[in-house]
Structure 1
Amino acid sequence: MSRERRVGTATVLASSLALTTVSALGTPASAATVVTVAGDGSGNFTTVQAAVNAAPSNGSGYEIDIKPGTYRGTVSVPSAKTHVTFKGLGSGSSQVVIVENHAASQYGTQGSATVAVSANDFHATNLTFANDYDEAKNGSSQAVALDLNADRAVLDNVRVLANQDTLLLWTASTSTVGRSYIRASYIEGDVDFIFGRGTAVFDRSEIHSLSRGSSSNNGYVTAAATNNTNPYGFLFYRSTLTSNAAAKSVYLGRPWHPSGDANAVGQVLFRECTLGAHIRNDPWTDMSGFSWKDARFSEYTNTGAGAAVNSNRPQLSASQAPSYTPARYLAGSDGWNPIY
């Protein structure tokens, strides 16, 4: 399937509470400001975007506590709004939902994102990002729920829901590394629903493929565009791949070369994962004239009905395994280690 994706490139309210605390994700936050969003008017703001707009530029800690409810509308966290945390206050991640129904056919791929994050050190916990564009009614289209175009992002107990192109992991340029740690979360979609050139670790998460009603092809989990100078793209670690799609009908991934970029040599590893019966025996496939065999796709000690070892399923060797751990993917040049 050939297609082109176009990816572009205050003052705090006096009623806010300034304090020294520890964020919901376990990261020390110095003199953090905490504000509350509530649709019923019982907080500091009624919309998430208004709370983001009030965040200081290049701040050291700004936590947005979001009361249970559905918050419709797009949200942008610009690059200057660093160290922002979204924290859902519900009993679970389904209690706070940030959703819009924009499609790439109208807004462009990145423009379709419900939430677009360009600021480093973004954290989110206990909430849902969704794009509820109705493909059945309006036709197939890329429709991004979350665009992480940043470095050192952490998602913990978060749901990311859409159909095609659910989660975009992007960077400002091909030479820029953007790292994301996604823990105990749930990602749902069908076509290329985890994609981009960013570096990401999916740790003990559920990756759910939606059925497209086909007996043979119900989509692709990944479309990585990792630059060839970056050894680390997507790592799925001790995660579970689930689906109600037909057996052997979902691909693990295919190589995305944006604008035909020959240097986009996708790197994806499924390591110690449980693969459902929906995963094909030949789980990698070509894209837009580029062979999957030229990408860096592999597996390591997976289990489950969809796991197998054959000539179409490259395996990481035991000697290579120590170099492809969550810590190695995320360390970068600054030694970042958000893993817990």
Structure 2
Amino acid sequence: MKAIVVSLAAALLVGLTTTAAHAATNVTVAADGSGNYTTIQAAIAASSTGGVITIKAGTYQGQVQIPASKSGLTLQGATGTSSDVVITGNKPQSTAGTVGSATVYNQAANSTIKGLTMQNTYGAGSQALAVYAAGDRQVYRNVRMLGYQDTFLSWGGTGSSQIRQYVYKSYISGAVDFIYGNGAVVIDSTTIESLNIGSSSNNGYITAAATDDSNPYGFLITRSTLKSSAAAQTVALGRCWHAGGAADAIGQVLVRESTLGSHIRQAGAWQDMSGFSWKTCRFTEYANTGAGATGGTSDRPQMSASTAANYTSQKYLAGADGWNPVQ
């Protein structure tokens, strides 16, 4: 009997040790050395699946990569004020490549980033990503994404496979195609600011969707505010990006129940790109308000109420597994 008790105790100890080894890590990053790590990348390397990284106020230079192996990871600003924690870089795609330019490159499924800023300060002249979202079921809440060209990319690779992201109560800025890709993305209750680049005729494009034609959902901008100090009617809602010239990249964008500033074009709100007509893509609006909204023209297709019932945030993100992070 004693031998059995000893064996059971040993087995229990092994189990507890194993469980502890696989428990989610909770660590703090502080540039001043008052946390567990001084860099975000070091904290990510040390974190386990499902871990939480809390980042103290400060500015953190250089690219942050979250690999696919860190599923369920959370990065959060310590104060809850997104401007207090800034992850910054200034690499352009022209020299670093698309991945290399991204200030934050997030491949981890089921990950959450909240309460911080991610920016690329490179400016005009090249793609220069603030965020490259490359994993499924990602949530970005109370964040700022700041850039100029291609600020936020959702990209799941070529073909019909699709990743999903939910952006909530956040702020995104840029000038050229600054929300783009082929993912299923819901941007909810967010301020989207088009930078004023000083033109009297063309101050850029907000979206560049490359949704595969087999996927019904691409980008949904809902309950949001589109603003700019740019001249009236000089910013397009988006243009039709056939990534790599792919004929099946039939972008899908719906802007619904949002407030549109006077910077939004009346004619030409949707634009051609690289020889492809915007009419080859799936661009619509529904129930928008503000100076930049319209009752509907041939340039501003409006979705019917009956169709809009199937184009909700939940529908965009549900996929085959019923994911529903919507607030």
TM-score by length of 2: 0.91
1:84 equivalent in structure 2: 73
**What does 1:170-209 align with in structure 2 at a 5 Å threshold?**
170-209=155-194
1:297 equivalent in structure 2: 283
Q: Given residue 156 of structure 2, which amino acid in structure 1 is its aligned partner? A: T
- Structure having the higher helix fraction is 2
- Of 280, 296, 299, 1:312 maps to 299
2:7 equivalent in structure 1: none
Superimposed CA distance per residue, residues 248-286 of structure 1 (whole angstroms, 9 cap, x where no aligned partner): 000000011111000000000000010000000020010
Structure 2 residue 323 is the aligned partner of structure 1 residue 336: yes
Superimposed CA distance per residue, residues 211-262 of structure 1 (whole angstroms, 9 cap, x where no aligned partner): 1110110000000000001100000011000001110000000011111000
2:118 equivalent in structure 1: 129
Aligned length: 306
| Residues in 2 aligned to 1:297 and 1:175: alpha-carbon distance in whole angstroms | 19
| Residues in 2 aligned to 1:78 and 1:237: alpha-carbon distance in whole angstroms | 29
Structure 2 residue 259 is the aligned partner of structure 1 residue 270: no
1:116 equivalent in structure 2: 105
| Cα displacement (A) at 1:287 | 0.1
1:46 equivalent in structure 2: 38
Q: Given residue 305 of structure 2, which amino acid in structure 1 is its aligned partner? A: A
| Cα displacement (A) at 1:108 | 1.5
Secondary structure at 2:100's aligned position in 1?
Answer: helix
Verify the 8 A CA contact 2:209 2:218 in the aligned structure 1. yes
Superimposed CA distance per residue, residues 175-231 of structure 1 (whole angstroms, 9 cap, x where no aligned partner): 221000100000000000000001100111000000111011000000000000110
- Of 21, 28, 51, 1:36 maps to 28
Same amino acid, percent of matched pairs: 56
Secondary structure at 2:43's aligned position in 1?
Answer: helix
**What does 1:192-231 align with in structure 2 at a 5 Å threshold?**
192-231=177-216
| Residues in 2 aligned to 1:194 and 1:222: alpha-carbon distance in whole angstroms | 5
- CA RMSD of superposed structures (Å): 1.4
Verify the 8 A CA contact 2:30 2:36 in the aligned structure 1. yes
Superimposed CA distance per residue, residues 82-104 of structure 1 (whole angstroms, 9 cap, x where no aligned partner): 11101001251000000011001
| Cα displacement (A) at 1:32 | 3.6
Structure 2 residue 311 is the aligned partner of structure 1 residue 324: yes
2:266 equivalent in structure 1: 281
Structure 2 residue 94 is the aligned partner of structure 1 residue 105: yes
Q: Given residue 29 of structure 2, which amino acid in structure 1 is its aligned partner? A: V
| Residues in 2 aligned to 1:250 and 1:92: alpha-carbon distance in whole angstroms | 29
Superimposed CA distance per residue, residues 155-191 of structure 1 (whole angstroms, 9 cap, x where no aligned partner): 1100000000000011033222100010000000000
**What does 1:146-185 align with in structure 2 at a 5 Å threshold?**
146-185=131-170
Question: Judging changes above 3 Å, is the alpha-carbon distance between structure 1 residues 320 and 174 closer, same or farther for their aligned structure 2 residues?
Answer: same
| Residues in 2 aligned to 1:251 and 1:321: alpha-carbon distance in whole angstroms | 22
Verify the 8 A CA contact 2:123 2:149 in the aligned structure 1. no
| Cα displacement (A) at 1:79 | 1.1
Structure 2 residue 230 is the aligned partner of structure 1 residue 245: yes
Secondary structure at 2:315's aligned position in 1?
Answer: helix
Q: Given residue 230 of structure 1, which amino acid in structure 2 is its aligned partner? A: N
Secondary structure at 2:217's aligned position in 1?
Answer: coil
Superimposed CA distance per residue, residues 97-121 of structure 1 (whole angstroms, 9 cap, x where no aligned partner): 0001100111112321001011101
| Residues in 1 aligned to 2:123 and 2:153: alpha-carbon distance in whole angstroms | 19
Verify the 8 A CA contact 2:123 2:147 in the aligned structure 1. no
Instruction: Give 1 or 2 for the bigger CA radius of gyration.
Output: 2
Q: Which structure 2 residue ranges, 5 or more long, are not aligned?
A: 1-18
| Residues in 1 aligned to 2:319 and 2:82: alpha-carbon distance in whole angstroms | 29
TM-score by length of 1: 0.88
Q: Given residue 192 of structure 2, which amino acid in structure 1 is its aligned partner? A: I
| Cα displacement (A) at 1:144 | 0.2
